[in-house]
Amino acid sequence: MSHDVHVEARSEEEYKYNRRKASQAMRNQVTVFAIMIFLTFVAFATVQAGFSAFLVVPLILLFAGVQVALQLYYFMHLSEKGTGIMQFFMYSGMIVAFTMILAFVTIIWW
């Protein structure tokens, strides 16, 4: 494990630029949060409104998928560079997860 860490001191200009970039990124995160809140509201509202299950179920599953994607790519920073290996492991987990759920809701019954 390396204890030799080379940290380049940033110049004043670079520092200010990075700070501005970070606060812009934070504003984007708040926008993402607003979208997630909105999707949650719509999901609850469609269920409460009592539409047909054939319409509501795919819709709320889609909303859940979008919310999770936003959470993973923005809140958990997977949209940044150099996250390929992390995405590989996460997607591998998701493929196993999807297969398992598919099997349990289709070919297993009581």
Partner 1 sequence: MNLKSKFTPQSWPEHPELSTAEGKNKVVGFWIFLGGETVLFATLFATFLALKNKGPSGMEFTTQNLFELPLAFIMTMLLLTSSLTSVYAMYHMKNYNFKGMQAWLAITVLLGLGFLGLEIYEFTHYVHEGFTFSQSAFGSSFYTLVGTHGLHVVIGLAWIVLLMVRNAGRGLNLYNAPKYFIASLYWHFIDVVWVFIFTVVYLMGVIK
Site residues, partner 1 (CB under 8 A): 1-10, 12, 15, 18-19, 22, 25-26, 29-30, 33, 36-37, 40, 43-44, 47-48, 50, 53, 56-57, 60-61, 63-64, 67-68, 71-72, 75-76, 82, 85-86, 89-90, 92-94, 96-98, 100-101, 103-105, 108-110
The CB-of-85 to partner 1 minimum distance in angstroms stands at 6
Counting DSSP H helices and E strands in the chain, the numbers are 3, 0
Cβ-based nearer residue to partner 1, 64 or 79: 64
Amino acid (one-letter) located at 53: A
CA 12 to chain centre: 34
The CB-of-11 to partner 1 minimum distance in angstroms stands at 9
Please give the angle made by the CA atoms of 64, 65 and 68, to the nearest 5 degrees. 85
Residue 74: other Cβ atoms inside 10 A: 19
The CB-of-79 to partner 1 minimum distance in angstroms stands at 13
**CA 43/CA 16 separation, integer angstroms:** 41
